[in-house]
Amino acid sequence: MRKYAEENRGKEAKKKGLVILRAVYGEEAAVGIAECGVDNAECGSGAEKALDVTVALQFMVRESKLRLYAGSKKDYAGFCEVGEGAARKKLYVRYAFNGSVYELEVDDAEPVYLPAFRATRLGSEEVVE
């Protein structure tokens, strides 16, 4: 998965397409903290509250688009159940597209369509990582 995601990232970057810079999935409180940096905890350990899913999302990018349909994200490749089952889950994504950097945070059950109209533009790629 990682090898293909890296190749995909390179192709997308060349054409100023969709490049996932940072993606974190997990408990709402943990996602807010982890946006700045989280190690990729292993699925199944049960102790993690947030999971780095940057590689998993880049792997799913096709023709500069990413589509995750409504429903829990835990069943997608590269994702898993994190934290306590009853805790509210979120997905945070920071991505580059067409020379600009954006971020988006959605509830677990919400669909994700990137690039997104409702994403917040943070600035140009040269200024924002």
What is the per-residue pLDDT across 8-39, written as a single tens digit (0 to 9) for each?
999 999 999 999 999 999 988 788 655 555 45
Tell me if 66 is assigned to some domain. yes
State both tokens at 116: 């997104």
Tell me if 68 is assigned to some domain. yes
Tell me if 65 is assigned to some domain. yes
Question: Which among 88, 78, 101, 111 is positioned nearest to 32, based on CA atoms?
Answer: 88
Amino acid (one-letter) located at 104: L
- 115 DSSP β-pair partners: none
Residue 103 has pLDDT above 50, yes or no: yes
Instruction: Give the residue numbers spanning the domain of 39.
Output: 2-124
Whole-model pTM? 0.86
Tell me if 129 is assigned to some domain. no
Number of domains making up the chain: 1
Per the prediction, the chain carries an average pLDDT of 88
Report the first-to-last Cα separation within the chain, whole angstroms.
Answer: 23
Range list of H helices, 1-129: 2-14, 28-34, 54-60
Tell me if 31 is assigned to some domain. yes
* Model pLDDT for residues 43-65, shown as the tens digit of each residue: 544 447 899 999 999 999 999 99
